[in-house]
Amino acid sequence: MAEQTTAEHGGAGPQAPPHIDAVACEEAVRFTSDLIRMDTTNRGGGEGTERAAAEYVAARLSEAGLDPQLLEKAPGRTNVVARVPGSDPGAPALLVHGHLDVVPADPAEWQVHPFSGEIRDGVVWGRGAVDMKDSDAMVLAVVRAWARAGVRPRRDIVLAFTADEEDTAQYGSGFLVAHRPELFEGCTEAIGESGAFTFHPGDGRRLYPVAAGERGTAWLTLAARGRAGHGSKINHENAVTRLAAAVTRIGEHTWPVRLTPVVRAALTELAALYGRPLPDLDTEDPAALAAGVDDLLARLGPAAALIAPTVRNSANPTMLDGGYKVNVIPGRAGAHVDGRVLPGGEEEFTATLDRLTGADVDWEYLHHEIPLQAPVDGPAFAVMREALRHFDPGAHVIPYCMSGGTDAKQFSRLGVTGYGFMPLRLPQGFDYQAMFHGVDERVPVDALHFGTRVLDRALRAL
């Protein structure tokens, strides 16, 4: 493969020759298909099982000479952890993590059965094809290729294949961090989902967003208090009315622009790439900042979709629960809100929700997780940028902040800095982000080949 040449990396000396061959590429595809066929649906509330997929992963790692551990908080909620020894015992370890669970899928809505793992016309179909059994498969293929070729990475690499990422992580990374932190001893940085995929803005450019931040999770429950009564009577203390007013205020609220270092870097790089004027990002006038950022996003066209969700906090009402009979005014009504909070935006979020809910509606956290950010001007990001450009010289690699969250939140509690880097080169018209939790989730075979090669290069250089 002529594209796999030896290259220098950041003053650390020449990289080892590439060892991703046709066998590794084939394994990445086969493992993806095999893992999809294992129904690891996570329905929330503790309902799910990852055991079959975990045993499959452990077997593949054992074949590569590793010593994987299967760990469970509850029967069937299985995690796999293994360590690949590095060549430099003094180097800090690197964590590579991916989850084994998937969200539900209704076969009646799909062109193919979501747990078939069918390979059709160069595409692997099924639930988990991009979220994220494909990434698990590529990691397995890389470490097995190293074993065949006798390659050792520079630093220890800890592999973690987790349960329960699609819910609260209490059976997965949360359990591992709380009860088995010694397994991650020495880890300072991590890579996981989901970044380094091709984003086509429709102008011929290929953007590769690498995640260097995540908004925090703030899932809320709202409870409105009122006076119960007959539906035929005037009632100015109607809990449903009070709830509806609060939900409307939350849903219609425009949050102020808040620029984190990662989002600022992304805006700066995209403005330069597209030759657009950069507004004053240091202004202390909130209205001027919002106007300038919104104008720049409008000028960036489709590329703005990578940045727009993360220039502000957000809170979206998602569920309502009120009343039990049409002619009865209930004394209580409830709702749920999906809030997402940028680094540094927690106090603003709390104060705003207090104001929007008002005196007659209480709110509390149903699930609360911290926001994250990682350096974009250091050696780790430079390595990931170089690896993508090596295999796609036309790549424009930019940092971005994920609007949602991953297991990186849990691992950050051990002092591990996380990045989203599971590369895929995708064809024009392939909407990667729509695949997440969507119908007809799928991934091209060529994308898996590309991702396996890029991962190999990056992991050996990080």
Catalytic residue set: 101, 165
How far from 365 is each of 167, 248, 354, CA to CA, in Å? 15, 19, 12
| Backbone torsions φ then ψ of 408, nearest 5 degrees | -55, -30
**Is the CB of residue 345 less than 8 Å from the CB of residue 371?**
yes
| Backbone torsions φ then ψ of 377, nearest 5 degrees | -115, 20
Closest CA to 215 of 433, 372, 376: 372
DSSP line for 68-129 = -EEEESSTT-EEEEEEE--S-TTSPEEEEEEE--B----GGGSSS-TTS--EETTEEESTTT
The residue count of the chain comes to 462
Alpha-carbon distance of 453 to 159, in angstroms, equals 18
Amino acid sitting at position 346: E
Closest CA to 89 of 36, 153, 6, 173: 153
Closest CA to 460 of 2, 24, 20, 3: 20
Tokens 């591990």 correspond to what residue? 416
Burial class (CB in 10 A: 0-12, 13-18, 19+), 428: exposed
**Is the CB of residue 164 less than 8 Å from the CB of residue 171?**
yes
Alpha-carbon distance of 132 to 76, in angstroms, equals 19
Beta 395-402 vs 328-329: how paired, if at all? unpaired
What are 320's strand-pairing partners?
Answer: 335
For 296, half-sphere exposure in the C-beta direction (CA atoms, 13 angstrom radius) is: 28
